[in-house]
Structure 1
Amino acid sequence: MQASTKLKVGVGVAMAAAIAVAGVVMFAGPKAGADPTDAAQVARGRAVYAERCASCHGPRLEGQPNWQSRKPDGRLPAPPHDASGHTWHHPDEDLFKITKDGVAAFAPPGYVSDMPAFSGVLSDADIWAVLAFIKSSWPEETRRRHAAMSARAGK
C-alpha cells in the first residue's frame, strides 16, 4: 500500500473514531455527578441554589432553626446542608433522587415534607451542580468521607 493510501486510511479511521466519540457524548451527555472541585459546576450550583433552595435551606446552607424538631404541623424544618447537617451522610445518588423525586421515595408511608420534587423544574445537570456547590462548602475530611461512602453505595 502506498504511503498516501495509508495516510488516507489512517485519517479515515481517526475521523470515524472522533465521530463515534462525539455521538456518545451527544446522546449520553456528560457524566453525571457532583464535583466540588469543578469551579464552573460549583458556580452554576451556587446560582441555582440561591434561586431555588436558599429560601428554605438558608443562604449560607444553615437550614431552618430547630431543624431536628417537628413543627406544629408535624413536618420537620429544612435541614442545613453545611457540614453541621446530615446531608453528607447520604450518598450522591440518594441526594440526587431526593432532590429530583422528593423525599417520599425514601420516607416511610404517610411521611409528609415541605421539600418539593424538582423533576421538571431543574435539569439533572442543575441538580448535580447544586450538589457540587453544597459539597464545596464541606471541609476536606467530610468530602473525603462522603466520597468514600458514595463509592461504596454505588457498588
Structure 2
Amino acid sequence: MKEILTSINGIPIRKNFVQNLPYNPYLKKLLKEKRKARILGEVIFWKKVRAKNFYEIDFDRQRIIGNYIVDFYVKSLGLIIEIDSSSHDEKQVYDGIRQEYMESLGLLVFRITDFDVRNNLVLIMKELESFIITHYGTTPSSKI
C-alpha cells in the first residue's frame, strides 16, 4: 500500500511519486524568464497553494519535465496543473501531444483556464480537490 500524503474531506490521499523524470537542463534559462513573466492566473493560483496552504500538499512552480516546462507540479502525487490562457486556443494539438507525453511518464494532468482561476478560484479549488480524490484517494480498509 502506498504511503498516505494527506486527507481531503476525510478521504486519505496516497502518494504517487514518479521517479527518474527526464530533465532538459537547456530549459533552465527559459524557466527563469517564465517565472518573471508573472501571468496573473498563475500568480493567483500560486498564492493559494504555496507553502503547503492546500491540504499540506507541496506544489512546485514552473517545473522542467523532459523538453517542457509545466506550470505547477506536485511531486508527491505525480500531478501536473496547467493553467491555459487564451493563447492555448490555437495550441490544442501541441497541448494534446504534450499531455500524452506527460501521461506516458505516469503523470496526470489537471487543466484549468486562466479565466477561471481569475474569476472562479473557489470552484477551481473544489474541482482540484475532486480530481485528487478521484485519482489518488483511497477508502480506509474496514475492520470486520
Do both proteins adopt the same fold according to a TM-score greater than 0.5, normalized to the shorter chain? Answer: no
TM-score normalised over the length of structure 2: 0.27
| Greater strand fraction, Structure 1 or Structure 2 | 2
| Structure label with greater radius of gyration | 1
| Greater helix fraction, Structure 1 or Structure 2 | 1
